[in-house]
Amino acid sequence: MKHYLPPDRHSRARSIPIPPFHAVPLRLRAAGWTPLRQAEFIGHLAATRSVARAAREVSMARETAYRLRDKPGAQGFAAAWDVALTRLGSEASRARLLVALAAAHEALKPSRKVTTAQLTWRVETGIWQVRLCAGRYDSVRRKADNPALFALLARTGRGGMGRWYDGKSRLCARRFVSTAQVRVFGPPGYQRTSLTAALSSLTDLNSEPSFHSGH
pLDDT of residue 44: 97
Mean pLDDT of 129-136: 93
Q: Is the pLDDT of residue 207 over 80?
A: no
Contact 63, 153 (CB under 8 A): no
Q: Is the pLDDT of residue 61 over 60?
A: yes
- Residue 16 or residue 169, greater confidence: 16
201 burial class (0-12, 13-18, 19+ CB within 10 angstroms)? middle
- pTM of the complete model: 0.71
List Cβ neighbours of 127 (8 Å cut-off, separation of 6 or more): 20, 21, 22, 108, 142, 143, 144, 145
pLDDT of residue 90: 86
Mean of the per-residue pLDDT values of the chain: 77
Single-letter code of the amino acid located at 118: Q
Q: How far apart are the first and last CA of the chain?
A: 75
Q: How far apart are CA 76 and CA 115, in angstroms?
A: 15
Q: Is the pLDDT of residue 45 over 50?
A: yes
List Cβ neighbours of 210 (8 Å cut-off, separation of 6 or more): none
Q: How far apart are CA 103 and CA 205, in angstroms?
A: 37
71-122: pLDDT as tens digits: 999 999 999 999 999 988 888 889 999 999 999 999 999 988 899 999 999 9
**Across the chain, how many H-helices and E-strands are there?**
12, 3
CA-wise closest residue to 34 among 140, 176, 150: 140
Q: How far apart are CA 130 and CA 137, in angstroms?
A: 8
Q: How far apart are CA 111 and CA 96, in angstroms?
A: 24
pLDDT of residue 112: 87
pLDDT of residue 109: 93
Element (H, E) at 115: none
Q: How far apart are CA 198 and CA 180, in angstroms?
A: 7
Q: Is the pLDDT of residue 35 over 60?
A: yes
Q: How far apart are CA 135 and CA 64, in angstroms?
A: 25
pLDDT of residue 36: 96
DSSP state of 28: -
Mean pLDDT of 160-177: 45
